[in-house]
Structure 1
């Protein structure tokens, strides 16, 4: 008969089984080696798993079978990290954890917005982390992170490994006393890292807008590249608002959840909610600033065009006076080359030189 192991023994001994008794008669053929009970192999998507008890790290790597056992032990805190799991792998794990089928849909559903979904057995959180080191002025790189929050465990599901979970783990283990509060401490540390990355990129956009505002008023003129840059910043802000503003609902929902109502966690979630509000307000102010810069650029271009038109009209009026006088009196006075074929070439050359000079002057002043 197989020996039934406690959670701690299952973790320490893994899949060890009780050895069969030795045969009583040496002449009797040895019985066939018994087949060990079936255990699921660790899926390839299992990237990391850690176990804490009372804030102290017990194990930094466990298998999926031990995870299923330990996750129901209220004396320990478990974190499991899955990267790019298939629907079948995630559904299998959900069944073993007694989670509903909707948990898989929440974690892998396409085009999910940041949200907090409540279920009888768990909470499902979906957020988007910004990758400042991988983003460019033309493209905002993001990474989607979903999480199942169980009273004694946090299971993160990532579509790729671009987000640095090592930094999150470092945050968790900086405060062992906070880990004693349960999975709420884990989801707080994860969301805090996500919001910090969003703040970093918002600050980058704010610095770019300050530079653009300086260029707008410092230069005599701005070219099409300025308008293109403004358009790119506006596009990034639209994308950023879609992932930053819903974070208010996510954090507010966690604050209201009874499982997160621990006196230890409440001030930390209040601080996180304040950061989320500031990030949302900052994106709104940046959107207004971008719109103002775009409208100011148009107004300055209109003002500049009006100035050019006034100068051209002034030049036209000055030239029109002698033209009108000479045309009215039909003046035809002798000039160098008069009644001589050379005069034709001299007048034609004079016209070309004067027209060319005016063109260069207008071009240098950007009137043409």
Structure 2
């Protein structure tokens, strides 16, 4: 058994028996010996960024289907659960959201999993912190007796879905300050508006890995998979509830930011109308004296032509007509 080839990529291993870690950090080529020495134990094997040859070694050891192995090698698979003879293939995304200026950004890690009767094999395609996953298994060790590999899958899904819900809440909270800035009189500054657009884009990106999770969990819980023990069903239903709450939070936040952007656009239109109206009013005020001076100065001599009192008369007429038009427009609210 010890001559079995091992993957060359970085790996993590743990062996659980009745919720207790009976072995960890052992080389992958010792897996068969460890499983044989602990017939009631279940294995967790993590592979970081394996190539095709690495997965072929694991596939030969656990009899994994070639199509599942192909999906695990290639990036950007959709969240799903596929059934193959002797095992399930599951693909999910762990997400993290950064809401700092100048715009929010989402970081995601694709995690493919092979779920056999006695092993959970995870394939990570980008760097991620495994500490929350290990801590969740250690914290919920009391669920493990007679739960088999379903205990490990529950811990993985719980961490993933909690991350989805936390990301959705973080984006929703980031919207509070944006809402205050956008609803100011005259419309939001361009930086605030661009942050709002970035929020909407990030929410759309987050929805893609989150939306299928409720259906994915339902597929895992199907009776014919025989993986979820009866005492684990309430915990899986709790994860399902969190997944649904996450997508509801995302949809609510998306409707909210769309409403804010539309309200900001309306406020900008109102401000533009005010500016346009004031420009038209001032143009009218300027046009009146322009017309008068044009009439008296260019076409015919005005009353009192070449007389000082005539100049005073024309000046008074200009000022009086402009002032009258100003008062009229002011009373109408155009100025």
TM-score of Structure 1 vs Structure 2, range by shorter chain? 0.7 to 0.9
Q: 2:87 aligns with which of 109, 122, 133?
A: 122
Give yes or no for the alignment of 1:184 onto 2:150.
yes
Distance in structure 2 (CA, Å) of the matches to 1:146 and 1:191 = 12
Distance in structure 1 (CA, Å) of the matches to 2:264 and 2:99 = 30
In the other structure, the counterpart of 2:67 is: 102
Distance in structure 1 (CA, Å) of the matches to 2:283 and 2:216 = 66
In the other structure, the counterpart of 2:275 is: 308
**Deviation of residue 301 (structure 1)?**
1.2
In the other structure, the counterpart of 1:271 is: 238
Distance in structure 2 (CA, Å) of the matches to 1:128 and 1:146 = 9
**Deviation of residue 192 (structure 1)?**
1.1
Distance in structure 2 (CA, Å) of the matches to 1:334 and 1:105 = 100
RMSD: 2.5
For residues 116 and 56 of structure 1, do their structure 2 counterparts lie closer, same or farther at Cα, with a shift above 3 Å needed? same
Q: 1:292 aligns with which of 239, 248, 259?
A: 259
In the other structure, the counterpart of 1:173 is: 138
For residues 139 and 103 of structure 1, do their structure 2 counterparts lie closer, same or farther at Cα, with a shift above 3 Å needed? same
**Deviation of residue 260 (structure 1)?**
3.3
Distance in structure 1 (CA, Å) of the matches to 2:75 and 2:183 = 44
Q: 1:208 aligns with which of 166, 170, 174?
A: 174
Contact 2:97 2:104 in 1 (8 A): no
Contact 1:134 1:141 in 2 (8 A): no
Q: 1:242 aligns with which of 208, 218, 234?
A: 208
Unpaired runs of at least 5, structure 2: 312-334
1:124 match: secondary structure? strand
In the other structure, the counterpart of 1:220 is: 186
Distance in structure 2 (CA, Å) of the matches to 1:144 and 1:111 = 7
Distance in structure 2 (CA, Å) of the matches to 1:135 and 1:51 = 40
TM-score by length of 2: 0.82
Distance in structure 1 (CA, Å) of the matches to 2:236 and 2:12 = 25
In the other structure, the counterpart of 2:16 is: 52
Distance in structure 2 (CA, Å) of the matches to 1:255 and 1:333 = 102
**Deviation of residue 317 (structure 1)?**
2.4
In the other structure, the counterpart of 1:320 is: 287
Structure 1 or 2, whichever has the larger Rg, is: 1
Distance in structure 1 (CA, Å) of the matches to 2:21 and 2:100 = 34
1:131 match: secondary structure? strand
Per-residue displacement from partner, 1:138-157 (whole Å, max 9, x unpaired)? 53211110111112211111
2:207 match: secondary structure? helix
In the other structure, the counterpart of 2:220 is: 254
Unpaired runs of at least 5, structure 1: 1-9, 16-38, 339-366
**Deviation of residue 115 (structure 1)?**
0.8
Contact 2:97 2:167 in 1 (8 A): yes
**Deviation of residue 305 (structure 1)?**
0.9
For residues 269 and 107 of structure 1, do their structure 2 counterparts lie closer, same or farther at Cα, with a shift above 3 Å needed? same
Per-residue displacement from partner, 1:273-323 (whole Å, max 9, x unpaired)? 000001111111122122212222221111111111111222222333333
The structure carrying a bigger helix percent of its residues is: 2
Per-residue displacement from partner, 1:189-212 (whole Å, max 9, x unpaired)? 111111122222212211222211
Paired residue total: 300
For residues 88 and 319 of structure 1, do their structure 2 counterparts lie closer, same or farther at Cα, with a shift above 3 Å needed? same
Q: 2:56 aligns with which of 86, 91, 95?
A: 91
Distance in structure 2 (CA, Å) of the matches to 1:213 and 1:334 = 65
**Deviation of residue 71 (structure 1)?**
4.6
Q: 2:161 aligns with which of 189, 195, 200?
A: 195
**Deviation of residue 61 (structure 1)?**
2.2
For residues 124 and 232 of structure 1, do their structure 2 counterparts lie closer, same or farther at Cα, with a shift above 3 Å needed? same
Contact 1:154 1:186 in 2 (8 A): yes
Contact 1:151 1:259 in 2 (8 A): no
